[in-house]
Amino acid sequence: MYAFEYHRPTTLSEAAALLSQKPDAKLLAGGHTLLPTMKQRLAQPSDLIDLSQIQELRGIGEEGGALVIGAMTRHGEVERSELVRRTIPALADLAGRIGDPQVRNRGTIGGSLANNDPAADWPAAVLGLGARIRTNRREIAADDFFTGMFETALGEDEIITQVVFPRPQQAAYAKFPNPASRYAIVGVFVARTDQGIRVAVTGAGPCVFRAGEIEAALARDFSPQAVDGVEIDSADLNSDIHASADYRAHLIKVMTKRALAQLV
């Protein structure tokens, strides 16, 4: 690990000021990706800005009928929240499937979204529900936020502050996890919203994406059987030692049907 300066601000404004003053700085949330990368000397930030002491970035609440989760809220807190279980239980279910207890009690929703790992769970929920990501500068729609593998619409000096989840009519998440890491080999979040059906897929491609063909099929018939007639193109899907692109295409349909089985 290379040498770096460590900062532990207690306010969002202090963290934002540090980030603007230190162009080679990195924000530290849960640290599950950044710290191992630094230990392997694959990253060399000049400064680490630890967000763990900024209370305004934490918490779960309601706003205009929507569920609002602070960026530094840990997965385990979402899993155990009575408010989440009452308003959008699929989010509590998803949070409870992330990693193991150590990961869930350290990792944060904001860190997961900013990192945008191709196999992370939270991007599927955010895209599937059509959530909005708030930063210290603006609000970004989920459809515009995820731009590529480990890439997002965040600017160099932006900090995620909250995620706003509209309350769906129905929602469910199903995933086929890697048995070691618990990352999604394929995960599918299905939501029936006031704006229509949304189906978000993680783990299968370079970045989370919406399955438009499945959305169209479910708009006609919201049932597991409607997925049978859909053909998933595997050309742009991931292929590795864990699963081929064709197998991932198959899993997208299987996981969609499992999510629907929870709802129908």
Alpha helices in the chain (DSSP H): 12-21, 34-39, 75-80, 82-87, 89-95, 101-104, 109-115, 122-129, 142-145, 212-220, 245-263
Give bridge partners of residue 189 from the DSSP assignment: 173, 200
pLDDT of residue 264: 81
Tens of pLDDT along 179-188? 999 999 999 9
In 3-state terms, the chain is what percent helix, strand and coil (to 5)? 35, 25, 40
| Per-chain mean pLDDT for the chain | 96
| Domain ranges across the chain | 5-50, 57-263
- Reported as a pLDDT band with limits 50, 70 and 90, residue 218 is very high
pLDDT per position as a tens digit, 165-198: 999 999 999 999 999 999 999 999 999 999 999 9
With tokens 């540090």, the residue in question is 18
Q: Can you tell me the mean pLDDT for 190-209?
A: 97
Residues 119, 120, 125, 127: what is their CA dihedral angle, to the nearest 10 degrees?
-60
- From the list 136, 75, 78, the residue with the least C-alpha distance to 108 is 75
CA angle 143, 147, 150 (to 5 degrees): 125
Judge whether 108 and 75 are in contact, CB under 8 Å.
Answer: yes
Strand, helix or coil for residue 200: strand
Type of residue found at 223: S
What amino acid is encoded at 91 in this protein? L
Return the sign of the alpha-carbon dihedral for residues 52, 56, 61, 63.
negative
**Can you tell me the mean pLDDT for 137-162?**
97
What are the φ and ψ backbone dihedral angles of 26, each rounded to 5 degrees?
-125, 145
Q: What percent of the chain is predicted at pLDDT more than 70?
A: 100
Q: What is the CATH number of domain 57-263?
A: 3.30.465.10
Residue in this structure with the two tokens 């292929």, named with its chain if needed: 239
pLDDT of residue 1 exceeding 90, the answer is no
What are the pLDDT digits (tens) for 83-131? 999 999 999 999 999 999 999 999 999 999 999 999 999 999 999 999 9
The amino acid at 236: D
Residue 23 — very low, low, confident or very high, per pLDDT cuts 50/70/90?
A: confident
pLDDT in tens, 30-63: 998 999 999 999 999 999 999 999 999 999 999 9
The whole-number pLDDT of residue 191 equals 98
Is the Cα torsion angle 189, 190, 192, 194 positive or negative in sign?
positive
**CATH class belonging to 5-50:** alpha beta
Helix 212-220 × helix 245-263 angle, to 10° = 30
Q: What is the structure's pLDDT at 170?
A: 97
Tokens representing 184 are 């999604």
